[in-house]
Amino acid sequence: MHSTPLITPIFSVLWYLIPLMILVTLLRTPWFKGVMGEFIVNLSAKLFLDKTKYHLIKNVTLPTEDGSTQIDHIIVSKYGVFVVETKNMKGWIFGSAHQKMWTQKIFKHTNKFQNPLHQNYKHVKTLESLLELNDQQIHSVVVFVGDSTFKTEIPENVTYGFGYIRFIKSKTEHVLSDAQVLEITQKIATGRMTPSFKTNREHVKHVKNLVAPKETPVKKQETEQKAKQEEKPAETIDTKICPACQSPMILRETKKGPNIGNQFWGCSNFPKCRKVINLN
């Protein structure tokens, strides 16, 4: 009977904690990280690019033959059309221009993700078709934000933070006229799908359908086993240093030939360094 006055202050404190917990959870979601990454790119473009020369268009969804493609940022100028893909990631990043998959390493964990240049290729080709441009007039740019570090040599159009501004400003040759710049911005405005929650939801659904694994039960089991293998503790897939060039080495698997299925350590600086250490 006498405990009610004490319970009320406790509930008052808990009431303030609930929104705080929701906020902390939200900050950790991939969605929020993506939003923050785009915000940083938008802000830096507005601060460091002359608005009279560079025209920023954000979050453009364009229809394609098989669905849609979504472009984070398009910057139109007399120096060309810059198609900007944003990646908000942390950890060590390994990759080269021609590798299909890049590697992210965070302490003991290794994750593979699509080469962002390949990911941006479809965006570039869609815009080339829509705007009737050639490859001298359109530039693919990838910008990483977040606490990540490149551990291998990367192409000049893959940048970190404000580095993408330097890449854009490095293009000083006029490849478009003022009239073309105006025409391009108008074409994008009329060719894009209407920005809305529905458009974004439909695009996300399209992407999920594209990447959904179409596997047999056996293949699915193999995939799950491989995923578990990549999460082994440090003593089984710890980072090794290449004795030839001192770069980190990555645990790989032979895909063909008589040794198919065998694992080995390969240098992350491949193909510049082809050092291999067999597990046997």
Tens digit of pLDDT at every position of the chain (280 positions): 454 555 556 556 555 666 655 555 544 555 455 556 667 777 888 888 999 999 999 888 888 777 778 898 999 999 999 999 988 888 999 998 889 999 999 988 899 999 999 989 989 998 998 899 998 999 999 999 888 899 998 889 999 888 889 999 999 999 999 999 999 999 998 888 875 445 445 544 544 444 454 444 544 444 444 444 433 333 333 456 778 877 777 777 777 777 777 777 888 777 778 888 887 6
AA letter at 168:
I
Report pLDDT for 78: 96
d(CA 47, CA 88): 20
AA letter at 68:
S
Please give the model's pTM, rounded to 2 decimal places: 0.61
Q: What is the pLDDT of residues 177-187, one digit of tens each?
A: 999 999 999 99
What is the DSSP track for 155-189? -TTEEETTHHHHHHHH--S--S-HHHHHHHHHHHH
Q: What is the pLDDT of residues 102-156, one digit of tens each?
A: 999 998 889 999 999 998 998 999 899 889 999 899 999 999 988 889 999 888 9
Backbone conformation region of residue 51, classed left if phi is above 0, alpha if psi is from -120 to 50, else beta: alpha
Question: How many Cβ atoms sit within 10 Å of the Cβ of residue 88?
Answer: 20
Report pLDDT for 179: 94
Report pLDDT for 20: 57
Comparing C-alpha atoms, which of 197, 232, 248, 211 is closest to residue 59? 197
Q: Which two tokens stand for residue 245?
A: 């060039």
d(CA 87, CA 34): 7
